[in-house]
Structure 1
Amino acid sequence: MMTSTWVSVIVVQLVLIHGVKTEVEMQSCAEVQTPSSVVPMGSTVTATCVIKDDCPLVIQHLEWRLADGLIPSSPVANHSHRLSTVVISNFNHSRAFLTCSVKASHQVIAGVAIRAGYPPEVPHNLRCQTNLTSYISLTCNWEPGLLETHLMTKYTLHTEIWDLNQNFSYELPPGVHHVTIPRPDFVLFSEMKVLVKAVNELGESTSASIMLEPVSAAKFDPPKIENIDVVPKRFGCLRLRWSLYKSQDWVPASHLNLEVRLRTVDGPRWSEPILMTRVRPKRPMDQCRLLHGTQYFVQIRVRYKQSPWSEWSSSQSGVTLESAPTGRLDWWMKVPRDPKEVNVHLLWKPSKQFRANGQNVSFIVSLQKQGKGKVCTTRKNYCIFRLPGRAKRVYLSAVNAAGKSAPTEIQIYSTKDLMVMSEVTAVPQDEGLLVQWSSVITPPPTGYVLEWRPLLQTHPSHVQFENAARNQTHLLLTGGSLEPYQPYGISVYPRFKDGVGLPLTVEAYLSQKAPAMVPKIQIQKTWGSHVELTWDEIPLSQRNGIIQNYTIFYWDDKGHTQILRAGPDDRKLTLTDMSSESLYEVFMMVSTSGGSLNGSAIHFQIDPFDTVTVGIVFILGGIGLLLISLSVLLFCWYKFKRLKMEFWPAVPDPANSSIKKWTSDSTRDAHFPRDDREQNQIYLSHLSFLDLPLKLNKEDEDLWMSGAEDTSDLGESICGSPVLPSYSGSNTDSVPYATVIFPCPTTTSSTSSTSSSNSSGPPHRKPHVYLRSESTQPLLEAEDSFTPKCYQNISDQHCSFFGPGHDGGSEDGDDPENLWDHFPFLRALAMNDHPN
């Protein structure tokens, strides 16, 4: 053990420090030995690493690796300890390196590449075909098998011509599974044996051999139909002549086979091929048991013995001899429900037993069985005619150049207002439309009529129908008339003994796809946070299917996306919770069961004040203004008198004013208390005080007596004392009515003496004078001459302030001084009453 350790240390020092040996020298120290470098996939592999005598390494310094993976090893007991063996129980790599390397540095000192795979499978499906068109050759093909060998496999084709005892071999490159044998290496009419061998490093395999005659393996070019004629006096027969392709007409005709197929002009498919034997090119060949007077398209193909059939020739047409039509016609009559509509729609088609037996076939609808009373003659499959009022039935016949068919009797049924059908569905199935229906009455009607037509075609010639038995609840509609992506209207009519009930109609498609267009979105109106979107209906020709729904996608500038769906019959949709601060983008997706299509996007933004909002504001504003106006008018109505006084003050007539009248009227109008002992104040609007001299001269008296002058400033002109001409009362609406004039005080001695000489007692007081008005309004002129009243005559000693009276007192003997007590409001006059 110590010896091995020291040896390892020495080796490491030699490799890492001194670097004496190179990589090439290290690899020459050992060798990996295996039984084979190619092994079967999954087999056991044994390898041995042999260290040479001059190499300082020992087996304890080595390790095994397979494709970068470490595998355990076991030493072999011998005297030199120079061998290391590894066993791989399941080798599953198609190619991998098995190496022996140093443990410390992982340096490879020896290795070997091992491949694994499978032996070749037996080639199968060997077939050969001769080309007789231009360059004559024989081509053989085969299939190598499904299992991958992971090894290079070579194929070799071997042929043996028995008549000539010649053998040929053709070795092919790897991966090639066909070979073309040149013309000198085979004989057309001699049999030959053909087989294929496959070889790889794990083994070989051989295919089953085939025996063939090269001419029997030839695929001929399509033959040619020279012409097609009718067979004289033989109905339903066609005679045709044919020939081989020009470069192949040397082939013996004794072993040629021919197939014929036919199709009527309006037939949907070809008939089953008819095998013809013992045929020779350019020899007439008859084909019978065909329809009379019918045009056929004919094709043929040929082969030699069991060789592959040639392609079908080009089509040629021929017409059999005509005869009178036979069989009956299926019909469908639609009588209008409206009594004003008298036209009848009659449709028909050949039944399974009908034979037109001619090319130019026309149809006659008559009122009598013998063909009299014709109402319609046409070559189409429908007729619209006016039905006589008493007709109960009509007769339908087919006519060609050879004769007329037996008439088909058609009963004229009335239309009943009876709904029998409860449900009708139509779904695609097996390249057709499966129509199913159910009835709500028991027992069911005597039969049903299915009518269908393309909705994009309105002409009656496109209408088709099919009759169904009473116990039938479904029918498969097929035929070339049904086209994909086209809408069809399918109606189911119940039939009774004496009439036809109301139909139930559905729309159907043979197949659907996405619509061809998306309607344009229009913003119809906005109000508040709502937006109403509208769109037009998609034209029927652009739908390509039944519309399932309309999907609206919209989002704002922040990326918040909303999705709304509308039904197939909806034409508008309202978006809610919209913000006027965001810009929105919206587009529509229209869907059918066959796909969806997205429309173009539009952008919009809600106005803060839209038309509806502005209208509402105007309406509310108008209503508010109307209410205010009505309130003002009602207020003015109730306050009419007060407002009238504000704008048009009431000015009394000065010509009719008097203090007595005024006083009595004011007293009477006022609401006095019932206690007569208490005197109410007289509510005067304004009082002005003027001081006048005791005696007026003539000029002043004339001035005083003039009724046309304004007396508002009379006090100043008489007494020379300032008097306020303006009014300063509490009620500005009133106009001053009167001015009380006081005598001026005496200032001279002569006046005093005169007064004293005239009276021995106290000086006599002059009565107060009451002027007419202080108003600035112009006084009304009386028609008569001015005659002053008692209170206007200032020199009359018998007049007092309140009317005529006695000298020095009143009638009841009271002191005149006491009169002021009865008139509290006039006590203010005492302030200007000066004693002598």
Structure 2
Amino acid sequence: MIRIQLREGLNYSYSHYIYLLPTAAEALICGKVNTSASVVAVGSSISASCLINNECPLTKGKEFRVEWKINNHLVPTNLTYLERNGTYAASIPNILGKSAEITCGICVETNCQLVCGSIIEVIHPPPIPKNLSCVVAFSPGGMLCKWDPGQETEDNSTIYTLHTSISSPKGSTSKRYVLPPGVHFYQIPRLEYGLTSKMEIYVEVSNIFWSISSARLLLVPMKSAKYGPPDFQRIEPDELGCFKYIWSLPPSQSWVKLTCDVELSLKEVDNKLATELVFQSSSRSNSEIKVCKLLHWTNYSIKMRVRYFSEWSEWSNPKEDTTIPTAPSGYLDAWLKVPDDDGDDIAQLYWKPSQHFRANGRIMSYTVESKEPKQILCDTRENHCSFNLSKWTQKIYLTASNPDGSSTPTEVKVFGKKGLEPVSNMSVLPQSESSVLIRWKSLVSSRVLGYVVEWRSLSKTHAAQLYFTLHNKNESSTVVTGGVEILILVIPVCVGFSLIIIIAAFACLNKHERLKLCLWPIIPDPANSSIRRWTTTDSLQGMPPFKEDKDPVMVYLSHFSLLDLTDKELCNSDYVKENLWSNDSGRHDEGHNLFQTTQENTNTVPYATVLFSAPYENQTASPPVYLRSDSTQPLLEVEDPDSPPPYENLSGRVSVANFFTKIPKESTGNQAFWEEFPMLRSLENRNTDHI
């Protein structure tokens, strides 16, 4: 089967089915379907014909019949007929759907074979356009018309046309604007209509079968104009509770001199709970508007919008201004603490604004006075004061004043000094992070007129402010919000601790080595150190420097030997010279090295040798004889710590051989030599039990 799709006319398409039946020689076409139209309106009828080829192997030499189907549904036989020899026809009414597929088949007995077909496109009427509206836009100019197309179809032939008819004293003018597919708005140029002319506007939607129009829209362009946000030229307080405005349209619309509807919106800046006030009036551009019934000495945020028989413009940029002040109004909540019965005549009065009190300006002072006797008890700018209260005074009066006047005095009754019993079963429970719930048990007494709940911050300051609330006798609980004070104390402390932690962390990262030395100083390990390392400056790098001169670090002997020689060997000075002071330390008799300490340097020259003429057990503690050596090796040099100064410790019972000098045994300078060598004093053999 091969489908051939063709396009013609207004981009409508139709298809033909051609079935090729292969034979030994060539493929034969058995039939072809022709229709009266390739595109039809929904609900209309169509006729179709099927031409059967005489050489078709399905029909050649056979008895057959033709079967018609539309959208795979069988067409009744009463709608089919034989048009002429070899041509069969069908008349199909009321075609529905978006398309119709008509096929022709050949049936031999009960076996039917589809041989050809055609597809018909069905066109539906477009939806009627709705909600047509046109608004004149002064900037950039023109009249913008738009509408709702409804549910759009896939019909590419649907087009929209905007029709306008303008009536003027000179006659009527009609114009039409054809729009591209899928576009549902159009802006009519400014020069193609008059602002005060009457216009009739409608939208027409059409395809190849239908043309449908929207409802007519009658308007005067100026009355459908949408203005830009207005500007405030001047705002000034006029009189008590009133503002005076002068406004104008944007510069592009300054030529308009029509009376417009004006809407003003005012809201208190410092009161978030205040409702928005809306005032409407009519005014021309550059004219004055007056708004009253506002609160005195109140800062308002003001914005404005306009219209002229059309939709409202956008709101203007808000501006702020304050009404003029006046004398305070309303009364104050006051709490008088009368003196006790112990003779103290000082009374304390606290007050605060009530819900009905309006300062109407900047409060300059509060005055407390009595009329019997008539005197001013205190005059202050605070919300409390103390004064002497006479026992004859039954009422005092509290007045708030500002530069424009004073409020009506608030009457405060002075009750007897002996009060009622305090409330019982009072409890305080946390309500939230900044409030507590206070409950108490109401007193059953006709003398109770109300309750006062007072609280004060437990601050270390002496002048901690007192707060209070007044309640009627039927109330037994209240919620107290607050001291904010907790946040003021807690937040700085937390921030301070955070800064300390951050600074400490940075200090640890930047001064890691120095901090490590302070916490864990370097201490030499004798098990892993030699005597030489103890005398170098590397072992002192973790110790703080000394500011004062100290004794030099003790330098230990690098090598000493204890030898047991016979009297003959002791008398032979050449033996001592050749064997004991040889540079080749490896020639020493291993049996004589009974006690020896050496460093890592194997070339170290023995500096001193202690000679004994008898076994260690038989030695006596006689004063030794010291002999200096003529060795050229430096003595106690800092640059060469491997060579301590030469010395010899000789027993009093032996002969001492020296290279250069021989000191007699009975010399009186022995004691002086001991004083010069305090370290050698420890080698004096006075007790041999420990050797």
Larger radius of gyration: 1
The TM-score normalised by the length of structure 2 is 0.50
- TM-score scaled to structure 1, two decimals? 0.42
Higher relative contact order (CA 8 A, sep 6+): 2
